[in-house]
Amino acid sequence: MLILGAGLVPIILGMLFTAVEARHSLRNQQTVTANALITQTETLSDSAMQITRTLRDFKGQTCLSLERPLQRLASRYPYFRALGVLNGAHVSCSSAYGHDPGELNVMIQHALPQSTGNWGISIAGTAAVPERPAIAFVWMNPGDFGVYAIVEGQYLLDFMRAVSEARHYQLKISFNGGYTFVTGQAQHAPLLPIDPVIWHAASARYPFDVTVITPASEALRTWRDIFLIFLPMIAILSLLFMVITANWIKRRVTWRDRIKKAMQRDEFSVAYQPVCQVSSGCCSGVEALMRWQRRDGEWERPDIFIAAAEEENMIIPLTRHLLSLLARDVESWPVTPGFHLALNVAAEHLQHADFVPDIERFARQVAHKQFQITLELTERSLIKEGEAVAKKLAWLRQCGIKVAIDDFGTGNCSLSYLQTFELDYLKIDRGFINPIESIEGETPVLDAIISLSHKLALNILGEGVETEMQYRYLSQRGVGFIQGWYYARPMPSDALRTWLTTDGARPLQHPTP
């Protein structure tokens, strides 16, 4: 479900993005269409206003003298259905009807506005041509003289139809609240909850407004076209999201399951690295290091699987498994009372309610060996509940268990650990020991750590000692214990049992002078 959900995210976002883009595209197209329609209608209106200004010059003339000029003007401009002059609301002369054709409101089949001056209105038809709409432009002055021009609406309808058919628009124009010119149909998309997209615009020069309606089917087609353009990218992102999610789930599930199965199959083992007491040159204890050899013979890196166990909340079960392996291994060891047995504990386990019972249970299991158990605090994860953890460690110290800081100086909380917890040992990380170049030389950071440890009355253990020079440098500065390949490499329990009776029983061949 997570993989499918991840694959759907780009698709859903792509649909939303393309829907917004489609609407923006429709708005741009509607704006262009509305502006074209407004321009065309304003051009017709300009012609009508121009002819009404020409007709005003006929004031005071009789219809007998006006009839032919009116007919010539009407035939010269193709837009006009009829031209005429008025006497109040009465048509006194018309290019279509000649003398005394009747009242203007009867001719245009619409009530006249209660105003003088220029006005215009869209009408459904005229008395002579009732089936075709038109636009009446009228100029009337307070002295009862007026003129009018009837613009043939078919020109406007033909232009609207040509525009609307290109994109299946429905177009509407209404002049001064009169009859509405309409072309096209606004249809809903079948079986889809999509409404037509409507855009309104108005002329800044004449009292008419334009409505452009994009049918739902056209809106859907526009969205589909844009979606198909982006579809390859959406498909790639969808597959990428699914692959990333699948890998994440595989890694997450696999590590958790693999660790569980590895414990069930007894794939984990413990390697023990001996610790040398500098004063005697002999082995004083070991550090337990967990190892994982898969059934195919390959080894998993400890830093990887331990980090995965911490991330997957498996570090506590893994530590408990380590304790059980330790209890099994130590049964055959030939050790004397006080032999040190050190193991790392994670912050998550320290903060868990079962931490103290887990350690006490292990201590009881190996009590007959009389080990000196040492818990090493690592800095891979921050111990948040410092005060509560300090109380737990203090209790365990009262029970005879020692506490050490492992890999001191490599994390962000070493100094805070020194202030928060009661400690017995400080283990210096190999990174501070590697820079040693000569026995009489100086390593300021290492020397400062050693000096700090002495002031805090802590036992010091140097990790990663690989050369005699490093060994002598540390021993001369009061480091009580060393651990590293110079003394002994980590080894399994069986090898350690043999080593303890041979090399481990003899002092180091290069004692401190």
User: 271-306, pLDDT tens digit by residue?
Assistant: 999 999 999 999 999 999 999 999 999 999 999 999
User: 245-260, pLDDT tens digit by residue?
Assistant: 888 877 766 788 889 9
The mean per-residue pLDDT over the stretch 46-66 comes to: 90
Place of tokens 């090898």: 495
- Please tell me whether residues 144 and 280 are part of one structural domain: no
The pLDDT assigned to 414 comes to 64
Angstrom distance (rounded) from CA 39 to CA 204 = 11
- Please tell me whether residues 176 and 195 are part of one structural domain: yes
Closest CA to 481 of 363, 392, 376: 376
The pLDDT assigned to 238 comes to 92
Share of the chain above pLDDT 70, in %: 95
Strand runs labelled E in 207-337: 208-214, 268-277, 282-293, 299-300
pLDDT of residue 395 exceeding 80, the answer is yes
- Please tell me whether residues 246 and 287 are part of one structural domain: no
pLDDT of residue 513 exceeding 50, the answer is no
CATH value at residue 385: 3.20.20.450
Q: Is residue 390 part of a domain?
A: yes
Type and span of the H or E element at 35: helix 2-55
- Please tell me whether residues 440 and 320 are part of one structural domain: yes
Least confident of 21-35, 371-385, 481-495: 371-385
The mean per-residue pLDDT over the stretch 34-47 comes to: 93
Q: Of 257, 287, 311, which residue constitutes the final position of a domain? A: 257
The pLDDT assigned to 379 comes to 62
- Please tell me whether residues 299 and 339 are part of one structural domain: yes
Q: What is the DSSP string of 471-506?
A: HHHHHHTT--EEESTTT---B-HHHHHHHHHTGGGS
- Please tell me whether residues 151 and 270 are part of one structural domain: no
The chain-wide mean pLDDT, for the chain, equals 89
The pLDDT assigned to 477 comes to 93
Angstrom distance (rounded) from CA 182 to CA 198 = 14
CATH value at residue 192: 3.30.450.20
Q: 96 with 82: CB under 8 angstroms?
A: yes
User: What total of structural domains would you count in the chain?
Assistant: 2
Angstrom distance (rounded) from CA 296 to CA 64 = 117
Q: Of 237, 257, 277, which residue constitutes the final position of a domain? A: 257
Backbone angles phi, psi at 491, to 5 degrees: -145, 155
Q: Could you tell me the pLDDT band of residue 387, with boundaries at 50, 70 and 90?
A: confident
Closest CA to 408 of 459, 351, 359: 459
pLDDT of residue 131 exceeding 70, the answer is yes
Q: Is residue 320 part of a domain?
A: yes
- Please tell me whether residues 348 and 211 are part of one structural domain: no
Domain holding 107, by residue range, is 1-257
Q: Which residues share a beta bridge with 122?
A: 135
Q: What is the rounded end-to-end Cα distance, in angstroms, of the chain?
A: 69
Q: 377 with 345: CB under 8 angstroms?
A: yes
Burial level of 414, CB count in 10 A (0-12/13-18/19+)?
middle
Closest CA to 83 of 124, 141, 139, 158: 139
DSSP letter at 31 equals H
Q: 93 with 67: CB under 8 angstroms?
A: yes
Q: 295 with 285: CB under 8 angstroms?
A: no
Q: Is residue 275 part of a domain?
A: yes
Of residues 504 and 411, more confidently modeled: 504
SS3 assignment, position 83: strand
Q: 127 with 94: CB under 8 angstroms?
A: no
Q: Could you tell me the pLDDT band of residue 100, with boundaries at 50, 70 and 90?
A: low
pLDDT of residue 415 exceeding 80, the answer is no
By DSSP bridging, strand 459-463 and strand 80-87 are unpaired
pLDDT of residue 512 exceeding 50, the answer is no
Angstrom distance (rounded) from CA 295 to CA 318 = 18
Give the global pTM: 0.55
- Please tell me whether residues 87 and 137 are part of one structural domain: yes
pLDDT of residue 342 exceeding 50, the answer is yes
DSSP letter at 340 equals E
What is the side-by-side order of every strand in the sheet holding 170-175? 180-183, 170-175, 208-214, 197-202
The mean per-residue pLDDT over the stretch 439-463 comes to: 90
- Please tell me whether residues 271 and 238 are part of one structural domain: no
Angstrom distance (rounded) from CA 245 to CA 434 = 42
- Please tell me whether residues 435 and 307 are part of one structural domain: yes
Backbone angles phi, psi at 247, to 5 degrees: -65, -40
- Please tell me whether residues 305 and 212 are part of one structural domain: no
SS3 assignment, position 307: helix
Of residues 1 and 34, more confidently modeled: 34
Q: Which residues share a beta bridge with 276?
A: 283, 482
